[in-house]
């Protein structure tokens, strides 16, 4: 086989395997010929052959590119327009805020200002519990947005929910102690709990949130109750006020700890939220866990805990062993961003966008005949389905749609099947319609 054909075949294979993505610029024939030790015309001939076959396109001075057209023609396995490239989220991908709407210019400005004005002391290791400035900004935010009264000493900055959980359990748990967890509930935290030798005790969640009576009946000896009261993950219901009081009474009586995961309560579109457990925590049994992953962006890897005053010294001791791993510059930037009012403005703007995007997705799914479960807030949707949701989700995943099966979030509970999906990165009504259509197509 002539050398130019060998080169053409190699390129074609790389494109077919997805190693060379549509839109990728190829090296100039001069560079390539030098690299390969062949004449320039050999490379030119290889390119020409692939251009003729539609694999490559030439764009004058700009060079030779892998054809964009391929993106539109790929099999349903990599859906048109939404192909999961590194810089675009997969369609319906959960756990992500709207990446297109984060005010990156403001963030860069705030960080740049910090970087220029940092003192030499800022180059040293920061406070093991987190920067004072950020902890104060979180205190101010929680007071206004969640009616939680606390002191900066009670706030501990961590690098995410898993790190928060490890800090809690290493401070408070003994091996073999038990923890109520919501069933269905967020699956990714379970291995973290299990790794700390704490026993998972599944308690059903229903239309009023975690069934506290069932927890007391089945696992009265539990030392921890982990739950998402504002907006149960994934069902989206709120823990009723009666159950909030029942849970607090149990925790006080049993000397157990409640871990309130308030991961996305910023996003509520109707009505007033119920008060967080932490704001009702007269007995000092609640550990509140917040995160910036949904309200800002997950790559920030910044979350926080508010612990009871009585436990501050213990948490501090434990935190000193690992020290806060969020860089000081990040924390200071975040604190400035909050203090300058950008955080509030961003949340307000995102609530409007999410309400809109949710409505686009909800309507588009309904038009395609899906039954969307009504929810008060949050950044995901659940579609109720009959039969085996795993089989359906497998089909959708094969079509490149990053939906999840509700039954995968269950531990022992049984019940209605569901498809979980996120709408945050749905940027227009048309995109919602196309996405809903693709889902319908994948499932039939
Ligand atoms: C239920 C729940 N809690 C907490 C988190 C936050 O995790 P992190 O702060 O590690 O991003 C998530 C993120 O997806 C979540 O779904």
Nearest to 337 by CA among 139, 134, 152, 183: 134
Ligand 1, residues 185, 187, 293: which to mutate, most atoms within 8 A of Cβ? 293
- Residues in contact with ligand 1 (CB, 6 Å cut-off): 95, 160-162, 186, 228, 233, 261, 263, 291, 293, 298, 303
Closest CA to 260 of 368, 165, 372: 165
**Token pair for residue 382?**
């659940």
Q: Give the whole-angstrom CA distance, residue 232 versus residue 226.
A: 11
Q: How far is the CA of 17 from the centre of ligand 1 (A)?
A: 33
Ligand 1 pocket, mutate which of 162, 188, 209, 263 (most atoms under 8 A from CB) = 263
320 CA distance to ligand 1 centroid (A)?
A: 24
Task: Give the dihedral sign, CA 139/141/143/145.
Answer: negative
Asked if 249 and 284 count as a contact pair (C-beta separation under 8 A), the reply is no
Helix, strand, or coil here: 8?
helix
How far apart are the CA of 372 and the centre of ligand 1, in A?
23
Q: Is 155 helix (H, G, I), strand (E, B) or coil?
A: strand
pLDDT tens over the chain, length 444 residues: 889 999 999 998 888 888 888 888 998 889 888 888 899 999 999 998 888 878 898 888 888 999 887 764 443 333 333 333 545 678 999 999 999 999 999 999 999 999 999 999 999 999 999 999 999 999 999 999 999 999 999 999 999 999 999 999 999 999 999 999 999 999 999 999 999 999 999 999 999 999 999 999 999 999 999 999 999 999 999 999 999 999 999 999 999 999 999 998 889 887 777 889 999 999 999 999 999 999 999 999 999 999 999 999 999 999 999 888 999 999 999 999 999 999 999 999 999 999 999 999 999 999 999 999 988 888 999 999 998 999 999 999 999 999 999 999 999 998 899 999 999 999 999 999 999 999 999 998
Shortest CA distance to 295 belongs to which of 246, 334, 347, 331? 347
Ligand 1, atom nearest to 291 Cα: 9
User: Separation of 70 CA from ligand 1 center, angstroms?
Assistant: 36
- The residue whose CA is least distant from atom 3 of ligand 1 is 263
Task: Count H helices and E strands in the chain, helices first.
Answer: 15, 14
């Amino acid at each position: 086989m002539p050398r130019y054909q060998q080169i053409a075949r190699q390129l074609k294979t790389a494109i077919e395997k997805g190693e060379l993505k549509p839109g990728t610029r190829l090296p100039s024939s001069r560079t390539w010929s030098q690299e390969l030790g062949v004449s320039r015309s050999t490379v030119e001939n290889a390119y020409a052959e692939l251009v003729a076959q539609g694999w490559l396109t030439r764009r004058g001075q700009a060079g030779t590119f892998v054809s964009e057209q391929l993106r539109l023609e790929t099999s349903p396995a990599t859906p048109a327009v939404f192909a999961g490239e590194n810089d675009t989220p997969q369609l319906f991908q959960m756990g992500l805020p709207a990446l297109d709407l984060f005010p990156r210019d403001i963030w860069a400005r705030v960080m740049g200002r910090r970087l220029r004005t940092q003192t030499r002391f800022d180059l040293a290791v920061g406070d093991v519990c987190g920067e004072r400035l950020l902890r104060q900004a979180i205190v101010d935010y929680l007071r206004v947005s969640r009616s939680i009264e606390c002191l900066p000493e009670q706030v501990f900055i961590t690098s995410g929910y898993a790190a928060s959980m490890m800090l809690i359990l290493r401070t408070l748990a003994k091996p073999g102690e038990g923890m109520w967890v919501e069933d269905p509930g967020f699956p990714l935290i379970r291995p973290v709990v299990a790794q700390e030798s704490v026993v998972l005790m599944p308690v059903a969640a229903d239309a009023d949130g975690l069934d506290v009576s069932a927890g007391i009946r089945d696992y009265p000896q539990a030392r921890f109750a982990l739950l998402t009261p504002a907006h149960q993950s994934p069902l989206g219901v709120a823990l009723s006020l009666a159950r909030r009081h029942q849970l607090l009474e149990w925790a006080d009586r049993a000397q157990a700890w409640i871990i309130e995961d308030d991961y996305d309560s910023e996003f509520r579109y109707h009505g007033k939220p119920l008060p967080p457990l932490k704001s009702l925590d007269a007995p000092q049994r609640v550990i509140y866990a917040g995160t910036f992953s949904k309200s800002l962006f997950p790559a920030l890897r910044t979350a926080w805990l508010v612990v009871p005053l009585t436990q501050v010294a213990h948490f501090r001791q434990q935190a000193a062993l690992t020290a806060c791993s969020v860089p000081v510059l990040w924390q200071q930037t975040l604190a400035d961003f909050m203090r300058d009012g950008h955080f509030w403005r961003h949340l307000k703007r995102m609530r409007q966008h999410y309400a809109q995007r949710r409505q686009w997705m909800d309507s588009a799914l309904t038009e395609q005949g899906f039954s969307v479960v009504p929810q008060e807030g949050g950044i995901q949707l659940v579609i109720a389905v009959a039969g085996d949701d795993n089989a359906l989700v497998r089909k959708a995943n094969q079509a490149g749609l990053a939906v999840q099966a509700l039954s995968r979030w269950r531990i022992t509970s049984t019940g209605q099947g569901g498809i979980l999906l996120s709408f945050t990165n749905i940027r227009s009504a048309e995109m919602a319609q196309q996405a809903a259509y693709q889902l319908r197509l994948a499932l039939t």
